[in-house]
Amino acid sequence: MVLAMLFALYSYGPKSGNAPLAFDEMLTAEDLPRPPYKTYQEWYAAQDPAHLIQKSQDAESIFRKTGITFAVYGHADSSEKLIPFDIIPRIISAREWRKLAQGIEQRVLALNAFLDDIYHKQEIIRAGRIPRELIEKNEAFLPEMIGFKPPGGVYTHIVGTDIVRTGEDQFYVLEDNARTPSGVSYMLENRETMMQMFPELFAMNKVQRVEDYPYLLRQSLASLAPPGCKGKPRVAVLTPGIYNSAYYEHSFLADTMGVELVEGSDLRVIDGKVKMRTTRGYEAIDVLYRRVDDDFLDPLTFRPDSALGIPGIMDVYRSGNITIANAPGTGISDDKAIYSYMPEIVEFYTGRKPLLENVPTWRCSEPDSLKYVLEHLEELVVKEVHGSGGYGMLVGPTASKKERADFAEKLSARPSNYIAQPTLSLSTVPILVNKGIAPRHVDLRPYVLVSDKEVKIIPGGLTRVALKKGSLVVNSSQGGGTKDTWVLED
């Protein structure tokens, strides 16, 4: 009776009509708790709702004092904002996580093999599995990387793979983030905040650790120091500076790893090495975890007007005197047109079918696909091939007739700039609202560390949640929030 009253608000309205019902990760169709949530749900039922609301406010105060913020570019108010945090965890069983981890590892290894191939023998192109022009005319493909193999043969040192769920055992990869994946600081701060506010929950639930990420990241980066490195590798984080939207994360990672946070102006090329200005003079950097895009990395090689990079760093890199993570040129694997070929890429390099499926994708560069997409805009999600953060996209079912018409003009003018996908019924998890809890759609970004010896996948990752009822857009820049993600032990 208590649970029935408690979850009376946790519904989608009438369970009928043509709209597909979202998979509820907490409750079964009979409104019974799924096994991962059983212990948590029993705890929740004994809580005073007013106490939980106060805890939610306390969490906001912690984030505000810590300074966990982000900036939204292009808005009239581009001031730093708190990312909304929901105190109800998303809970994943050990069995579910094993399936995800196996699929993620397979995909990341295939991506790294793909990058090595397109910058060397290009066997996948010669085999006719990917069109040559999709690679060579792609703005993220760097001719400067052709014939060069980074230390350890690793291109994708840090990967954030965005995953959505649509059913009990139905997981899809929404996109790959292998250039400069962000958000890991929120994962770590979310966990620290939850452990601080609800220590009893971690005593009741055996939750796998994420707190070791900074140590594992530094260990993974240091293991790929260039061959000429003598002694303990010096690692640094390269940031564009304080006005970058992710600057908090850059400084957070440098601090938790115990390494230097540097800007381009702090570095210069001396005697064939990249060196950092210190109180003892200039000292060599062996591994640079860069959070600066390729175009701005070296004004002598890429954009001459860049004030964010280091003149000559690409020469040092190609001579084998520094490791850059992630490797320049990895951004092509984030391209959404390349994404549409990922099933072929995985099978080509691993010899096996993908363990995690792609979302079905129409490449608008193809005339038949473009025709279909234009005729079905009200049903589809259309994205820019280089887009991120929820920008430049159309969610057809929620867009107005005028918005769809305006978007159709842009799509027709530059079809190769877009792909389209069906509107998936993303799974939901509970969030805390004033009257109890309510279901909201989520995705998941697990973080992967790759060295030449192993692939480490942090158990859980960042759950992003669409806080607006019915919304499918989870990005913080579009009104989304985050949750702590629990992966239970066996």
Decide: 175 and 359 in contact? Cβ < 8 Å.
no
Over 90: is that where the pLDDT of 79 sits? no
pLDDT-derived band at 16, boundaries 50, 70, 90 = very low
- What is d(CA 323, CA 261) in angstroms, rounded to the nearest whole number? 16
pLDDT tens digit string along 295-311? 999 999 999 999 999 99
Q: Residue 323 is which amino acid?
A: T
Decide: 468 and 240 in contact? Cβ < 8 Å.
no
CB-based contacts of 271, cutoff 8 Å, min separation 6: none
At residue 63, the pLDDT reads 87
Find the mean pLDDT for residues 374-388: 88
Indicate the number of domains in the chain. 1
Task: For residue 261, give Cα distances in angstroms to 218, 288, 424.
Answer: 13, 10, 40
Find the mean pLDDT for residues 235-254: 94
Find the mean pLDDT for residues 394-408: 91
Q: Is residue 52 part of a domain?
A: no
At residue 19, the pLDDT reads 43
Give the pTM. Answer: 0.90
At residue 233, the pLDDT reads 96
Q: Is residue 398 part of a domain?
A: yes
Find the mean pLDDT for residues 357-363: 94
pLDDT tens digit string along 154-212? 999 999 999 999 999 999 999 999 988 999 999 999 999 999 999 999 999 999 999 99
Which residue segment(s) compose the domain that 364 sits in?
Answer: 360-422
Find the mean pLDDT for residues 347-372: 95
Find the mean pLDDT for residues 67-79: 55
- What is d(CA 209, CA 487) in angstroms, rounded to the nearest whole number? 8
Q: Which long-range contacts (CB under 8 A, 24 or more apart) does 167-172 make?
A: 167/23, 167/427, 168/23, 169/99, 170/23, 171/99, 171/100, 171/103, 171/356, 171/357, 172/356, 172/357, 172/358, 172/359, 172/424
At residue 465, the 3 state secondary structure works out as strand
Q: Is residue 197 part of a domain?
A: no
Lowest-pLDDT choice from 356-370, 451-465, 474-488:
474-488
Decide: 173 and 358 in contact? Cβ < 8 Å.
yes
**Residue 437 — φ and ψ, nearest 5°?**
-130, 155
At residue 10, the pLDDT reads 52
Q: Is residue 396 part of a domain?
A: yes
pLDDT-derived band at 470, boundaries 50, 70, 90 = confident
Q: Is residue 199 part of a domain?
A: no
At residue 80, the pLDDT reads 63
**pLDDT averaged over the chain?**
90
Strands 418-422 vs 362-363: parallel, antiparallel or unpaired: antiparallel
For 279-374, list the strands marked E by DSSP: 281-284, 287-290, 323-325, 357-358, 362-363
Exposed, middle or buried: residue 15 (CB in 10 Å: 0-12, 13-18, 19+)? exposed
Over 80: is that where the pLDDT of 69 sits? no
At residue 11, the pLDDT reads 47
Per the model's pLDDT, the better-predicted residue between 160 and 475 turns out to be: 160
At residue 395, the pLDDT reads 87
What's the alpha-carbon Rg for the chain, to the nearest Å? 23
pLDDT-derived band at 64, boundaries 50, 70, 90 = confident
- What is d(CA 474, CA 442) in angstroms, rounded to the nearest whole number? 7
Q: Is residue 394 part of a domain?
A: yes
Decide: 331 and 339 in contact? Cβ < 8 Å.
no
What is the 3-class SS of 30-89, one letter each residue? CCCECHHHHHHHHHHHCCCHHHHHHHHHHHHHHHHHHCCEECCCCCCCCCCEECCEEEEE
Q: Is residue 69 part of a domain?
A: no
Q: Is residue 382 part of a domain?
A: yes
Indicate which CATH number applies to the domain containing 407: 3.30.1490.270
Cβ count near 450 (within 10 Å): 26
pLDDT tens digit string along 118-147? 999 999 999 999 999 999 999 999 999 999
Over 50: is that where the pLDDT of 3 sits? no
- What is d(CA 27, CA 35) in angstroms, rounded to the nearest whole number? 9
